[in-house]
Amino acid sequence: MAPDSSSSPSSSSSPPSPSPSAIGSAIDKMYTGYVLRDFAGKVLPGAIVGAAWFYGLFGEHTEAKLESAIGLGVPFWLLSLAACWMLGYTVQSLGEATPFLVYGLEMPESNIPERIRFWPRRMTRLPLKSMYERQVAVLARNDIANSNYMERMAAVREMCGNGAVALGVSAIALLVQSEWPLAVVLIVVALLLARMHRVHAFYYWLYGSAILKQQDTSGTA
């Protein structure tokens, strides 16, 4: 009697791969649920500062101290995640206490350049009230695609801004251990992230203005 081919290992069905639409929906939910903004804009900068100052405090004993902490198991990782999240807010608080972090940059339309040079100039800080009014105006139109795109720019803006502050603070910790070359690298990367922070703060205003202008034009047509 011939063996049943349906029971052979080679004919067993493999688990279905996720469809592109399911992947896209999952990514959209990460934006709308602010998961990416919390992770990339809070947890990651907090982890950078935490790791740098851990090394700054313990120096050559860092590896031994870290092994002891990891030996605590799951509680260590949960506490580390919570600590990184809180450190991320500390980093953002430090940036907001200075003129460094901006949430929106605007510019007269006549001055908008064809391309942004290394450091955006001739821009003014968008007041928080205007920024939130702009965001609410887009959300009120139930324009999910544009709202998600603006949230993506906001997530990148926050990640770059908080990341730049975190790297700057981390460079100080490395200087404590006389790690000059690595500290210089961190400062250079921090400057590049600071540039992208300001660029995306400008894009956030520019894209929001284009959305509202287009929708107002369509409504009055």
> Is residue 178 pLDDT above 70, yes or no?
yes
**118, 195 Cβ separation under 8 angstroms:** yes
H helix or E strand, kind and range, residue 124: strand 124-125
Which has more confidence, 160 or 132?
160
DSSP string for 54-65 = HHHHHGGGHHHH
The 10s digit of each residue's pLDDT in 34-58 is 677 788 888 999 999 988 888 777 7
DSSP string for 101-122 = --S-EE--GGG--SS--SS--S
**61, 69 Cβ separation under 8 angstroms:** no
- The one-letter code for the residue type at 195 is R
Specify the residue for token string 């202008």. Answer: 213
pLDDT at position 13: 55
> Is residue 9 pLDDT above 60, yes or no?
no
Q: How far apart are the first and last CA of the chain?
A: 76
C-alpha 154/C-alpha 169 separation (Å) is: 23
The 10s digit of each residue's pLDDT in 210-220 is 777 776 565 55
62 exposed, middle or buried (CB, 10 Å; 0-12, 13-18, 19+)? middle
